[in-house]
Each structure stands twice: as C-alpha cells, then as structure tokens.
C-alpha cells in the first residue's frame, strides 16, 4: 500500500504541478483578500510571462493560453490525490502503519535525536562521511517530516484549492473566510505548494545520497 500510494501521489503531484503552472501563467500576480486584479497592488509578482494580454509583465511576449485543459487536468489529478490519500490514510490508521512507522518513539521525541540526524547528513555533505546503508526504519527527522507533510501540508493545500472554487465557496463560505478571501486562498495555495515542491527536491536529494538504486528498488519491487 505504501509503494502503490507513493507512486500514485507522485503522478498526481506531477500532473498538478504541470497544470498548476499553466494556470498560474494566466495571471502571475498574487493578492491578499477577496478580490485582486491588474488595478490592485499585488504582494508578489512572479517573474514569468503571462498568457493574457491584460496582465502586465516585464516581458514583451505572451505565452500560449492553456488555461482550459490545464484546469480540467488539475481537477482530475486533484481527485486522484485526494482519493489515494484517503485510502492510504484509512489503511495507515487501521494497519498501525502511522503508529508503528511514523510516530517517533519515546527516545526520539527530543532535539537531541533530531540534531543527531541533521549532523549525520551534514558530515556526509561536508566531510564525505558515508551514510549507513542498513537502516530500515525511518529516522526521527524523517518521521516528523512525513507526518507534517501527510497531516498538515497536503490537507492545507487541498483546503486552499477548494476555497478558490466558486461552487464550493458558495456551499462552504466559512472555508473561504478561514483563508481571508479567495485571493488569500490562492496566495496560501501557491506558498504551500512551493513548500511541498521544496520538500520533494530535498527528498530526492537525500534519496540520491542515501543510495538511489537501492531505495528505488525498495519503493518499487519491495527489496532494498
């Protein structure tokens, strides 16, 4: 279940990132509050060309407008992510996976355990010390990071995405109010997704330095 859900979520996140980037190019400016347009002052102007002539940018050309198919793909990939996450979450609680594999043990719930893990990777990068290859269980830093991503980051990304939907905003106005308006939800969505992509980059780097081929085999055929 861990391996299947992992790769389904990877595929969904890739499709969401691709489609989300295309959607972002239609208006690469972020605002706070309920409304935002070219006449308002954005808190962030993303330095990329836009796909619409009405949006001012520092570029003298426009990208192709792919907003239509991107929104369809974004919605469909989001369903794959949500349904996979629900199945994985129910299985994780029922099987004891979260309690057994992700919640740190009593001796690891302290800064000493976390700092020891950070120091191990720091010595590898700075002094070229080899990393242990016989570790099976997640280390304390991995456990806490995965818990944050699974139970905080992903739900927040999904909730902020739902808050941008006019239909769901009408059905659940409290969700929009929670984020401070639809434009605020869009800004939070961008920041949260950026955090998720940053996690993914660090995750791949650490997999690479820890033994890419061995860990890839473990996450595909189940033999590290």
The tokens describing 76, both together, are: 């469909």
Single pTM value for the model: 0.90
pLDDT tens by residue, 7-24 = 999 999 999 999 999 999
Is pLDDT above 60 for 125?
yes
Cα separation, 178 vs 121, whole angstroms: 38
Tens digit of pLDDT for each residue in 29-60? 999 999 999 999 999 999 999 999 889 898 88
Tens digit of each residue's pLDDT (9 = 90 or more) over 133-185: 555 578 888 999 999 999 999 999 999 999 998 888 889 899 999 999 999 99
Q: What is the CA radius of gyration of the chain?
A: 20
Cβ–Cβ under 8 Å, residues 62 and 50: yes
For residue 44, which of 186, 193, 195, 199 has the smallest C-alpha distance? 186
Q: What is the pLDDT of residue 22?
A: 95
Of 46, 68, 11, nearest to 194 by C-alpha is 46
Distance in angstroms (rounded) separating the CA atoms of residues 115 and 151 = 23
Phi first, then psi: what are they for 44, rounded to 5°?
A: -150, 125
Is 70 in contact with 22 (CB distance < 8 Å)? yes
């Amino acid at each position: 279940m861990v391996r299947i859900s992992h790769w389904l979520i990877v595929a969904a996140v890739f499709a969401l990132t691709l489609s989300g980037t295309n959607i972002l190019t239609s208006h690469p400016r972020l605002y706070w509050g309920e409304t935002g347009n070219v006449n308002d002052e954005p808190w962030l102007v993303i330095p990329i060309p836009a796909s619409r002539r009405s949006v001012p940018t520092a570029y003298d050309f426009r990208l192709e407008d792919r907003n239509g198919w991107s929104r369809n793909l974004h919605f469909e990939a989001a369903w794959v992510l949500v349904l996979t996450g629900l199945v994985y979450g129910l299985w994780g609680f029922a099987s004891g996976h979260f309690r057994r594999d992700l919640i740190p043990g009593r001796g690891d719930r302290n800064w000493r355990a976390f700092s020891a893990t950070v120091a191990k990777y720091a010595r590898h990068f700075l002094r070229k010390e080899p990393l242990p290859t016989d570790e099976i269980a997640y280390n304390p830093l991995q456990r806490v990071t995965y818990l944050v991503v699974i139970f905080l980051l992903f739900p927040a990304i999904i909730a902020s995405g739902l808050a941008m939907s006019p239909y769901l905003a009408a059905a659940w106005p409290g969700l929009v109010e929670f984020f401070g308006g639809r434009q605020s939800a869009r800004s939070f969505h961008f920041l949260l997704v950026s955090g998720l992509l940053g996690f993914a980059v660090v995750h791949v780097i650490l997999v690479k330095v820890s033994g890419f081929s061995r860990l890839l085999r473990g996450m595909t055929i189940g033999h590290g």
